[in-house]
Amino acid sequence: VENVRLLDRLSSRKAALGTLYLTATHVIFVENGSETRKETWVLHSQISSIEKQATTATGCPLLIRCKNFQVIQLVIPQERDCHDVYISLIRLTRPVKYEELYCFSFNPKLDKEEREQGWKLVDLKEEYNRMGIPNNHWQISDVNRDYGVCDSYPTEVYVPKSATAHIIVGSSKFRSRRRFPALSYYCKDNNASICRSSQPLSGFSARCLEDEQMLQAIRKANPESDFIYVVDTRPKLNAMANRAAGKGYENEDNYSNIKFQFIGIENIHVMRNSLQKMLEVCELKSPSMSDFLWGLENSGWLKHIKAIMDAGIFIAKAVAEEGVSVLVHCSDGWDRTAQVCSVASLLLDPYYRTMKGFMVLIEKDWVSFGHKFNHRYGNLDGDPKEISPVMDQFIECVWQLMQQFPCAFEFNERFLIHIQHHIYSCQFGNFLCNSQKERRELKIQERTYSLWAHLWKNRADYLNPLYRSAHSQTQGTLSPQMAPCNFLYKFWSGMYNRFEKGLHPRQSVTDYLMAVKEETQQLEEELEVLGERLANLQKSQLNDNKVKSKQQDRSRQLGLSMSNNSLANTPQEYSSDLKSFPSRSPSQGDEEDSALILTQDNLKSSDPDLSANSDQESGVEDLSCRSSSAGGCLPSEDSGKDSDEAVFLAV
Amino acid sequence: MEFAELIKTPRADNVVLHRPFYLAVEGTLCLTGHHLIFSSRRQDNAEELWLLHSNIDSIEKRFMGSLGTVIIKCKDLRIIQLDIPGMEECLNIASSIEALSTLDSVTLMYPFFYRPMFEIVEDGWRCFLPDQEFELLSSVTDEWRLSYINKEFSVCPSYPPVVVVPKCIDDEALRKVAMFRHGSRFPVLSYYHKKNGMVMMRSSQPLTGTNGRRCKEDEKLINATLRPGKRGYIIDTRSLNVAQQARAKGGGFEQEAHYPQWRRIHKCIERFNILQESLIKLVEACNDQSHNMDRWLSKLEASNWLTHIKEILTAACLAAQCIDREGASVLVHGTEGTDSTLQVTSLAQIILDPRCRTICGFESLVVREWLQAGHPFQQRCAQSAYSNSKQKWEAPVFLLFLDCVWQILRQFPCSFEFNEQFLIMLFEHAYASQFGTFLGNNENERSKLKLPTKTMSLWSWVNRSEELSKFQNPLFEANSLVIWPSVAPQSLQLWEGVFLRWNRPSKFLDEAHEEMINIIKYNKELQAKVNALRRQLAEMETDDRVQENL
């Protein structure tokens, strides 16, 4: 469709005229104008809603909201075209078969072996070995091979040694969806563990001997301690209501040596509505400070984030400080339980705060234990009531922790944002389906690629420059403020207003430090080379031989290449680099220059997350602006102006 | 008066000091004329706390049997608690502190007694003289002149002796204009934008009154700053409504009919007690840790502090935009031109002028746009967030300005030579200081108090390399561009460094800052080493060649 206008949300005066293309996988908007053929790519799987608004004199507006919080406003001149686009998009964004998803057509041009290597990057067996398991108290159980006991659990489950197959199966029959207690995290130092399950089918009075034995076995696996905590992450009222349906929670009287604890985290429906409300606030055209703060409070979002954190902190404290094992469950044990177990693990074990460890953590607590990715993130057309930002909340918890402990994580904010993007993108196979069983049936590993390999390849872009493995914050347990320090929880504009660059700090400390560190590394190398040459030279001077002329040649070359490097760090060059920070997508790393003439091919191979959006524009704008304004006025000035002008005047 | 008369109990033993995030410490409390000194002599951890009496905002006392407790709330927002054994001692100490922290006479303040223990490299009182500033200006334009019309402070008591005015306006005209402006604050030059020659002026409101008085000289003066055929903008920091109401009291605003070349824009920046109440509410919210998330956000919202920040920044951005983007000259005023006006003119300069983002440039900005421009520091900063007394002159106008600077700094973390600590330091010294810099309400009062001879300047202390190093931003890379901050609510944050400074653990953040410094320091060291080696190599190679040629 031609002559479509892409509106800028902050300023209605700034609209781009261009052509809209629909492909099998993307919506593409290409701006007119020969120099700045700026492209905006949006994956169909990212689109969460399409809204056709009332036709106006200028055309028919179409509003596209994305799951990665991008909002695109288009105006299509012909009502009929708009309708066609709308109908097509509705169909395209609601695939009914997994095979329609992008990951089955996505080809990063890796051979088979590389693909297999990629899937092997994260190995859970290795991870349990790292924790020190199997050992005297814990073993791997094959009771769930062929998914015979629980179809949403992995085939390999870790359980206490004293829990026989009989006990496990018996316990599983007493738990929702047969999700029996299994090991999530084990603390080598004091034998305390975190186990997870679903709610017991206790109703008002039912009990199950095997389930009681199971919990007893978990306690015995931690010989030092004479009780375990059972943490129900639901609000007490919800848990009680479940009893009427024959479900519920453990009765302390029936189980020997448990301490039962409610930690109220709301259910997926409350969370979905909360996010919805917060996004409405983010979308306000020019909100006053009161509108914004009031809306943020009203959405309850940060309150929910804090509830999840508090639960994680409680468990981490029980394990690290009291040396007591914890069994965590909610209703089905695949949403809140996953959030809480992974937050607690992250606090407890510095390994999960590394890039590799974080991948392992997600693979362990989310992917393998059957978090329902397909339902929660609406990959296939399904029940909208199943959709909920469960993982988004976990990712935000990590970000909130990063704010409090700036040196504790090996990865940076961008890493989190990219993971969030790919939970929805369906570009990689990792987060497909609702369980390991479904993924195996679909032969995901043979037909799609692993996100972890992709992220790992570009890890240089995701490093936190402040991370140092010897630093005190990277050691041991993190203990965040347990006191009700509400002010520690902040709105994450980097995520929820991700595509509105105008709102973010214009200079990134992270990128600056990363550039400095890169330069430092080059300097270290050069220092070594220079040192060697100096030594050689001194020797040769003594011997007075004639190798010199050759060396001088080399030295000139080296000097030159170095001066290029140092040039890359002069302020002007740097600030333009800063400007285009968001467009520095991992996959573009070494093709920065070609970023302007992105063809479809290299777009597809690169991370669509970043190439797919207006990020490109910053790079383009830079150049055009620099050439037009004949010096003096550099990029950051202009981009700042355009978006803000509207703001100042509007107020 | 002897301070000793006020100190009934100069010393108390076995006093216990409580502070958030620290263990309680036992030690000795001493009162001197200007300080409260607490020292613990425990072997493992000897420490001393020195608190200026003038830093104390309010004091509360409580008794539990014979154990008295004194809660001291400071102007820098810190709260400490002292448990003092003995009813009488406690009462004595509390009343002494109360008396010493509310001394009436300026000349009894600590700056008049303070003797510096450091060597003065450069006298801060002579650092930012108007003549020097004007020299910079006259190298780029000759359209302006220095006027000494206010030499004796006879024309405008709140102006400095020397001001910059258009060259074509003589002192006689200035005198007439002064009659037409509130408090005689006639329009003077605030900033000259080298890039396009546009200027920002500031003044107070014109005294048009209800019958629309006009003053030809005033019109001529501000028109003198316009290029032929160009229009200018008047930014009135009051809402139209407030400005109209001001006419009833003899004030008012420039009428279109008399100023046809000017377009007036009204912005609404709050003043006085509204700001003070906002500060009190904000600090209350920050100190109350008992409430849940929802109440925290609603209290933050209800304080309106961030709303004020947004309004001030928006007005400043607008002024900067008029000058840089529209290529127009700007006149800024509110009512008196001593508060919101200065917030706008000084912030606009930070946006426009890279020099103001350096340490020296920022100091000069504070001197020019706040001290010399007659912001009544003594009135505004007499009390801070904990004061119970309802005096009407207090307002955190300067703190709001610093907060706005911090917001810009946060958005452009590499464009400022100074760091957050520098801003916090200025906040502290504006409210309580051993230096004379922020004493008095204007230059007139300062000269009567003979501050330059009787007290030490803050700048003399700050501008030594030992101190400066604490205030330098390691990320600084000179940025010659205009920097446009975002004023969207999502972009504005609570200034934790000030408002949560005493009630959040800062260890992890401090560590991060240290890490950052180390990364950059190491890089610089390597650079130096590499350069040295390169030089050495080059020398050896030329030596070689010389030998070879021989």
- d(Cα B375, Cα A470) in Å, to the nearest integer? 50
For B319, which residue in chain A has the nearest alpha carbon?
A648
Q: Which of B118-122, B277-281, B452-456, B483-487 has the lowest mean pLDDT?
A: B118-122
Chain A residues 8-47 within an 8 A CB cutoff of chain B: none
Which pLDDT value is given to residue A9?
62
Which of A623, A513, A512 has the alpha carbon at shortest distance from A578?
A512
A643 contact residues in B (CB cutoff 8 A) = 486
Q: Are A642 and A649 in contact (CB under 8 A)?
A: no
Which of A570, A131, A472 has the alpha carbon at shortest distance from B527?
A570
**Mean pLDDT computed over every residue of chain A:** 81
**Mean pLDDT computed over every residue of chain B:** 92
Torsion of CA B410, B412, B416, B418, to 10 degrees: 20
Nearest CB neighbour to A407, from listed B307, B414, B515: B515
- d(Cα A405, Cα A234) in Å, to the nearest integer? 28
Judged by a CB distance cut-off of 8 A, whether residue B535 touches chain A is no
- d(Cα A109, Cα A89) in Å, to the nearest integer? 28
Which pLDDT value is given to residue A556?
33
pLDDT band of residue A608 (cuts 50, 70, 90) is very low
Q: pLDDT digits over A336-360, tens only?
A: 999 999 999 999 999 999 999 999 9
Which pLDDT value is given to residue B43?
64
Question: For residue B429, what is the enclosing H or E element?
Answer: helix B420-431
Q: Which of A369-373, A375-379, B296-300 has the lowest mean pLDDT?
A: B296-300
Which pLDDT value is given to residue A236?
94
Which of B452, B365, B406 has the alpha carbon at shortest distance from B125?
B452
Residue A214 reports pLDDT greater than 70: yes
Q: Are A403 and A490 in contact (CB under 8 A)?
A: yes
Phi, psi of A10 (to 5 degrees): -85, -25
* Beta strand B232-236 pairing with B330-333: parallel
Residue A617 reports pLDDT greater than 60: no
Judged by a CB distance cut-off of 8 A, whether residue B549 touches chain A is no
What are the structural domain ranges in chain A?
4-94, 112-501+508-512
**A335 known member of a binding site:** yes
Which pLDDT value is given to residue A618?
29
Q: pLDDT digits over A27-36, tens only?
A: 998 888 766 6
Tokens of A212: 């009681």
**A268 known member of a binding site:** yes
> What CATH number does the domain located at A4-94 have?
2.30.29.30
**A332 known member of a binding site:** yes
DSSP code for B486: -
- Compute the average pLDDT of residues A491-499: 91
- d(Cα A419, Cα B95) in Å, to the nearest integer? 61
pLDDT band of residue A53 (cuts 50, 70, 90) is confident
- Inter-chain contact B306–A523, Cβ cutoff 8 Å? no
- Inter-chain contact B516–A513, Cβ cutoff 8 Å? yes
Q: Tell me, yes or no, if A330 is annotated catalytic.
A: yes
B475 contact residues in A (CB cutoff 8 A) = 509, 512-513
Residue A642 reports pLDDT greater than 80: no
For A409, which residue in chain B has the nearest alpha carbon?
B512
- Inter-chain contact A487–B413, Cβ cutoff 8 Å? no
A287 contact residues in B (CB cutoff 8 A) = 488-489
- Inter-chain contact A406–B509, Cβ cutoff 8 Å? yes
- Inter-chain contact B526–A287, Cβ cutoff 8 Å? no
Judged by a CB distance cut-off of 8 A, whether residue B508 touches chain A is yes
For A493, which residue in chain B has the nearest alpha carbon?
B490
Residue B275 reports pLDDT greater than 80: yes
- d(Cα A332, Cα B250) in Å, to the nearest integer? 73
Q: Are A218 and A160 in contact (CB under 8 A)?
A: yes
Q: pLDDT digits over A217-243, tens only?
A: 999 999 999 999 999 999 999 999 999
CB atoms < 10 A from the CB of A232, how many? 28
For B412, which residue in chain A has the nearest alpha carbon?
A507
Nearest CB neighbour to B530, from listed A472, A488, A526: A526
Q: Are A169 and A149 in contact (CB under 8 A)?
A: yes
Q: Tell me the count of A-B CB pairs closer than 8 A.
A: 225
- Could you please report the per-residue DSSP string of A319-363? IIII---EEEE-SSSSSHHHHHHHHHHHHH-GGGGSHHHHHHHHI
Chain B closest CA to A131's CA: distance in Å?
Answer: 27
Nearest CB neighbour to B529, from listed A490, A517, A527: A527
Which of B262, B148, B149 has the alpha carbon at shortest distance from B206?
B262
Q: pLDDT digits over B314-342, tens only?
A: 999 999 999 999 999 999 999 999 999 99
Residue A178 burial by Cβ neighbours in a 10 Å radius (0-12, 13-18, 19+): buried
Q: Testing the interface with A: which of B233, B411, B490, B536 to mutate, by most A Cβ within 10 A? A: B490
Which pLDDT value is given to residue A502?
80
- Inter-chain contact B489–A531, Cβ cutoff 8 Å? no
Q: pLDDT digits over B371-393, tens only?
A: 999 999 999 999 999 987 777 78
Higher pLDDT, B416 or A545: B416
Chain A residues 382-421 within an 8 A CB cutoff of chain B: 404-408
Tokens of B91: 């009462």
Q: pLDDT digits over B81-138, tens only?
A: 999 998 899 999 999 999 999 888 999 999 999 998 888 888 999 988 888 889 989 9
Q: pLDDT digits over B394-437, tens only?
A: 999 999 999 999 999 999 999 999 999 999 999 999 999 999 99
Count CA within 13 A, CB hemisphere, residue A521: 6
For A510, which residue in chain B has the nearest alpha carbon?
B516
For A468, which residue in chain B has the nearest alpha carbon?
B515
pLDDT band of residue A596 (cuts 50, 70, 90) is very low
Tokens of A322: 């009291």
Judged by a CB distance cut-off of 8 A, whether residue B515 touches chain A is yes
Total number of residues shown for chain A: 651
- Could you please report the per-residue DSSP string of B125-157? GGTS-HHHHHHHHHTT-SSEEEE-TTTTS-S-T
Which of B209, B219, B212 has the alpha carbon at shortest distance from B187?
B219
Percent of chain B whose predicted confidence (pLDDT) is above 90: 80
What sign for the dihedral angle of Cα B161, B166, B168, B172?
Answer: negative
Which of B429, B506, B517 has the alpha carbon at shortest distance from B473?
B517
pLDDT band of residue A539 (cuts 50, 70, 90) is confident
Judged by a CB distance cut-off of 8 A, whether residue B519 touches chain A is yes
Residue A647 reports pLDDT greater than 50: no
Q: pLDDT digits over A391-406, tens only?
A: 999 999 999 999 999 9
What are the structural domain ranges in chain B?
3-103, 130-504, 507-538
Chain B residues 184-243 within an 8 A CB cutoff of chain A: 195
Chain A closest CA to B478's CA: distance in Å?
Answer: 7
Chain B closest CA to A637's CA: distance in Å?
Answer: 6
Q: Testing the interface with B: which of A292, A404, A495, A506 to mutate, by most B Cβ within 10 A? A: A506
Percent of chain B whose predicted confidence (pLDDT) is above 70: 98
- Inter-chain contact A648–B490, Cβ cutoff 8 Å? no
The b-or-e profile of A425-454 (16+ CB within 10 A means b, else e) is bbbbbbbbbbbbbbbeebebbeebbbbbbb
Which pLDDT value is given to residue A605?
30
Q: pLDDT digits over A476-486, tens only?
A: 888 876 555 66
CATH superfamily of A112-501+508-512: Protein tyrosine phosphatase superfamily (3.90.190.10)
Q: Which of A82, A103, A330, A426 is catalytic?
A: A330
- Inter-chain contact B484–A287, Cβ cutoff 8 Å? no
**CATH architecture of residue range(s) B3-103:** Roll (2.30)
- d(Cα A470, Cα A203) in Å, to the nearest integer? 51
Residue A547 reports pLDDT greater than 50: no
pLDDT band of residue A610 (cuts 50, 70, 90) is very low
Residue B173 reports pLDDT greater than 80: yes
